[in-house]
Each structure stands twice: as C-alpha cells, then as structure tokens.
Structure 1
Amino acid sequence: MSTYGSRGDVEPMAALAVTLQELGVEAVVCAPPEDEFRALLERAGVEMVAAGMAVKELIAEAKANPHITLPERARKVTSRQYEAVLEVAQKADVIIGSGLMPAAAGARTVADQLGLPFHLVAFQPVTMPSPYQPPVAYPGRPLPPDVTDNRELWKHDAESMNVIFGAAVNDHRVSVGLPPVPSIRAYVLNKRPWLAVDPVLSPWRPSDLLDVLQTGAWILPDTRPLPAELEAFLEADQEPVYVGFGSMAMGNAPAEVARAAVEAARKQGRRLVMAKGWAGLEAIDEADDCFVVGDVNQQKLFPRVAAVVHHGGAGTTTAAARAGTPQVIVPQVVDQPHFARRVAELGIGVAHEGSVPTSESLAEALNRALGMTRRAQEMAGQIKTDGTLVAARELGVA
C-alpha cells in the first residue's frame, strides 16, 4: 500500500491495512517519514516503510526554492515513491496507491514492472472525472474562463496532467525499461479506481467518463482515552467548541486564525478546545476557557463538543458527521470546498465563506451551526463504517 500526502492520505490506508490483517492478509504501508505517521501506524500495528522525504520538509523546501518548478518536484516524488514501493513489493500480490499524483504514478510503475494488479484509491471525489463537477485547477494551468462544459474542462485537466507530470512519469518509466504512456491521468486512475468516501456525505453519480467503485470511507478505529486534563476540561462546564485545521498550515496567518477562533467561541459564550495541528495554533492569552491539544482521539472527543470547526478534510468531516456534531468548515484547498458545500446541503453544518476567518465571520457561522444539532444527530447513524470491508471483498479476501 502506497501513499504520499497529509494525514488524510495515511490514516485511511492504515484502516484498510488493519482490516486486511484481521482477515489474515499481510499489509505494508509506504508513507512519508513524518513522526506523526510513524506513531499512527505503530498504534495500528501496521508495518510502515518510509517513502521519500517528510511532507513538511517537502513544503518547506518548495517555499525556500520557488525557482524549482512543479514538474521538477514531481520527478523527485515519482522516483522516491517508486524506490520505496519496489523495496517491499517483491513478494506482494497487489499494490494499492493513493496520495499525490506523481507518487501514485511511481507505485503504478512498480506494479507494471512486477506484473501486479494495481488499484488507485482516492479519499475525495474532486479529482475523479465527472460531468457533474469541474476539475480542480493546477498551479500555472488555470481552467479556461470561457468554458463551462465540465466534459471540456476534464479534457483540459488531462492535458494539464500531461504537461505537469508527463515528462516526470514517462522519463522514469523509460529509465526502468517500461514504455511511456499517452495519458498520465488514465494511467494512474487505471480502469476502475476506488473512491473511499462516505456515500451519504458525497455520493458518486455514475457516468460514461469514469467507472468508479465507491467503497465508503475507510475509518481507523481509535481506542485511545482522552488525556485526564482534557477530560476535566470537558466535564467542567457546558460543551465547548472544537477548532482544528489538521494538516493545513493556514497560510501565513495562524496567529490571526487562533485569535478569531477564541474570540468567536467567546461571542457564543462557549469555551474552546483548540488543536495545534500543522499550523501550530496556540492560546491567545492566559484565560482558562481555551484548552490546546495535540493529536487526540477525535472519535471520543467530537461527540462531547457542541460544534467542530475545521478545514473540511474528508476524514474530519466524516468524524464530525459520525459524532452527530454540527460543523463549520473553513475550506482551504482541493476537496475542502466540496465538503463544505456538502455539509451545508445536508443541513449538518455551515460553509464559511473565505479561507481566513475573522472573529465576526466565524462567530456568525458558529451561531448558525449550533442551530443544526438535531439534524446532525439525525444524520449520524446514516454514515457507513464498513468501507474497508467493501474494499477487502473487492480484493477477494472477505
């Protein structure tokens, strides 16, 4: 199993690995060498093979060297992922790839070289060609402003992927004795990609553009207790609000975002549980109404808060929906605007307008979300939890 990206790309792979191991199948996950990911996979009892460089280091390197183009960075990601996967795939029966496109291409190349089946899995729907949605634009390749036909826009998307990733992927394939491929997108998606997203939160609408298997979300059970200090904070008063942005750095304004979150909660008369995340959010003063946490068990925490304010990653959106807790999504990139729209359409949350909240805008959104508690609780039981078993059945092992 191969992935390269944020925690939202790694944790679902760990979930499938656990299910496969429970069914007697050995599973190894190639993932970025982040300490957070090592700890997660170790807790799950899943072997991890380090792939490439830490994502945080990759991001820092890109910021420090803006002259290095995206195609050049793609070359490194492709070859590094290929090397990591090749190291452990010699005795494999199947390779499952996810994460950044060049990393998934590196894993697919190993599958071709070893003659193994390959399955691409996505944990969000917005990179899957569909006439019902437009693609997400790549840096330097904006969508044509005068084109509104989604089918034409997906043709542009295929061209963009060839422009950005084509040389990196095909030069690497040729270097290991394999022929180039004409379409990078079709090559990586393969014949029937998997969509590991909850069908209530984001149902896939079949079309002639792509045959997709929607398995449902891959959820890793978390049995960790909450820290004693957090338990005491939760029990001290009415339910607080949770604010956390996961693997998002929140641009250059983490301090402003933290202040907006604290002040918005106070405007609603609520205390706050704030997750540091990759943005490094911290309390803004010495008041005792804000409790800052690191990596905690969201499955235990979310049912005990009044609302969840987050970035809109698939994993956090699903966790809040399962908990029956209303949410405010402050979307940043890629699939997050999609999930913001979906929770608003379902009536279980609010889509914040803009990626950098103010105390006023967040307080207003939070006020609306708190009125959606009953609807969120009604929807909670509809979220499916058997996505990994569906995938295991597709592999013929369940």
Structure 2
Amino acid sequence: MPLSVLRAGVTSRDPHRSFSVPCQRFVSLRHAPGTVLSGCALVLSQPKSRSDKAQRQMLLRVAALLAAVAAKLPWQNTDSPRAAARRAFSTLQDGWSATYVPSKNASFIPRTKASETWFSVVAATDAEELRLLPHLLKHYAWIPPSRFVVVLHAPKRTATYREMAHHVEAFGAMGHVRWASPYSGAHKEAVRRFAFARLLQSKQMKFGDWVVHADSDEFVVFPDRSFEEVLSRAGKADVVGGMWTDRVADQGALAPIPEQDLWEAFPLNCAFRRKPKVVAYKLPRLVTDGAHAPLGKDAVFASDRGIVYHFKWHSHVLERLKERVEVKKRPRQFGGRGKQGAAHLVEALRAYLVDHDGICVSCKDMRAVCCRAPCDVDSLRPYEAFLRTDPSKPHYFAFGILLLLCGCCYAYLRRRAA
C-alpha cells in the first residue's frame, strides 16, 4: 500500500467511537500497533451503515500492515494481555476474514479477580450443524453463556446461518464471530485467536483463565468427575488432555442428527482414530491446528483425561468430505501446509462410505473396533486404516509393474555387460 494512503489518515464516522490512523510514516506506527489495531477492530465491527466499503478496506489494509510486524513476535514471549491480543491479529495477512457480531439483548456478567472458564467452539452453518447446536449448548451449559466464544463459519449469510446466530443469541452469548472466508484448519485456529484478542483487549478475558476448546461435534466427558472438578483440581497444570472416541449410529448408518436424545441415536463407541486432543488450556497457552497438542515444550498436563465423543458420522458427512477434498487439493490456497496427495485419502474414505452405505461395523476387519455404550473405550482396538484406505484392496497391480520394470533393467544391464 502506498505510503501516501497512510499519511492521509482514516477517521471513524461513528460519533461515539472515534478512531483515526495518525498522519505519519508506517515506521513510527510500529511502536504502538496495539492502539491502531484496536481501533480497526472497533470500526470493522460496526454495521455497514456506519462504515462504507472503502473505509473498511482501508482499515483492513492498515491492520494487515501492522499485523505483519506483530506476526514476527511469538505469543508465548509476550509480557501483557494487550500485547498478546495484538499478536492475534497477525493472521489478518493470511487471507481469512472474520467479523464480530454482537448480540442485541445479552448482558455480560462482571468478572471476578479469580480465574474463570470460557468455552470456545467453531461451527459450520449447515442443516446438520443447526440440529447439533442445541445439543452442544446444553452439554456445555455449566459454563455461563456470557463466557461462550462462538465462531460460525458462514461464507454466505444463509437462512441456516441466521437461525444458528439466533440460537446463540437466545442462549445468552454476548455475540459471535462470523468467519466468512473458505474453510481451512489453519485458519480455524487463527479465527479463534481473533475472538480471544477482542476479549483480552477489553479485559473481559485475562491470562490465567481456562478455555474449554471444542469443535461443534465434540462432546467432552470425564468418567469419574465433572469438568468443573477437573479444572479446580488441576493445580499447576495448564493443559487438560483427552482421547477421541467416535460415536456411530446402529449398524454404522449415516443417520441424521435427532432433536431429542443424541446419545441414543448414536449408541456405538468406535476407535477409528484414537488421537490425543487438548480439551482445555490456561491462557496464555495456545494449541496447534486441530488442538492435538499444546504449543511449547513446557506444557504441564493435568492427571485427569477426558473422553472426546466425536459425532462426525451423520447424514451430512458425505457433503462435508466433498468440501474437504477441495481444501486438500489446494492446501496453500486455504492457509494449510499439507501436501496435495492427502486429497486421495479423503476421496477414498468418501468412496468407502458410499459403497457400504455408511460404516461396515459388522465386517471382519472391524472386530473389536466398536462396542455399544456403556462400555470400556480403552479396550477397543484402534483401526485408523479405516480413515485412510480400504485394507482389503492391496496394490498388487502396482507391485507387479514394479517387479517387471526391475526385471527389464536387470536384463538390459546383463546384456550390456556381456
């Protein structure tokens, strides 16, 4: 962006929340980027009637330039919540867009000096997620609604998005973040931190607070005690871990999400992917993309370990996998760092679900992988091959071609030597 644009200055048209970019060089703005970014966030959160398109684009460009400087500093080395909030804006340059949408009638419960618990969730906006949302809010209702940090992935303002936003507002959340750019696992964590940045800057959230981290299809349960008891007895630990357990409908069918009892509709516990999962962490601790591990080598895990029940295998999973293939084919375009070859794994999984009309839980290679709840999930046999490819179809043809090529090379070398 030309330097003259920054010199011109930008001023908010909202009389109650004034904000201006100083008419000075970008080099001098480096010394106080937090103030400018905070102002950008305030103006960008205003309705369109208060901020025209040109002004919003200007603010995004200024924030992106400042974020390029903040991105060079790691979160863990920060010395204040305000500085940590500033770093969260560093991903504005990575190609995602998010907007905070406040609720109209929500009331914030004043925080105390003690550590508090927040709930962070990212949800897609489709028909099945709409049916799953009430179950999710009910499961984590032990956390006050004003402590919910909800991100709704909605590239378009569909009727489903508006209904989900209404559910979140009726529940009592202070608002939600609308994530408008295409899906990416790397961007998903960046948008969460964008939401945390708002709360840290307004001092509603503080370092030392616990964040319960989940996706919309993840329901965390502890076998022996409640989640509140686990956090209260964590002591010096700053991370609480869990292990994935997939929930599947009877006979492996891809059933729709019910309105009533979710657990009865998906009664089978399956160990398709027994991967670790961070279910809660204490700020300023952060997690990797996918929340499978904490960032930093000095994390201290609590002794309690939860079960992360994963309600992924419903009637909309085929459409979800189809979208995921596009992300895997162009990972860098969507902010990821993976390889393009990962797309064929998702395609193979989708083909398996189509061929078997769901998951073949009665097949020979699925023995001891699933059990009907209640059962001991630790005794299940992990079967991650199901998520990668069909093990009943080894690549004999490719192996034969390789042997033929080796034989031809050997014969050619023998003839030259003779």
TM-score band by shorter chain is under 0.3
Structure 1 or 2: more strand by fraction:
2
- Return the index of the structure with the highest Cα Rg: 2
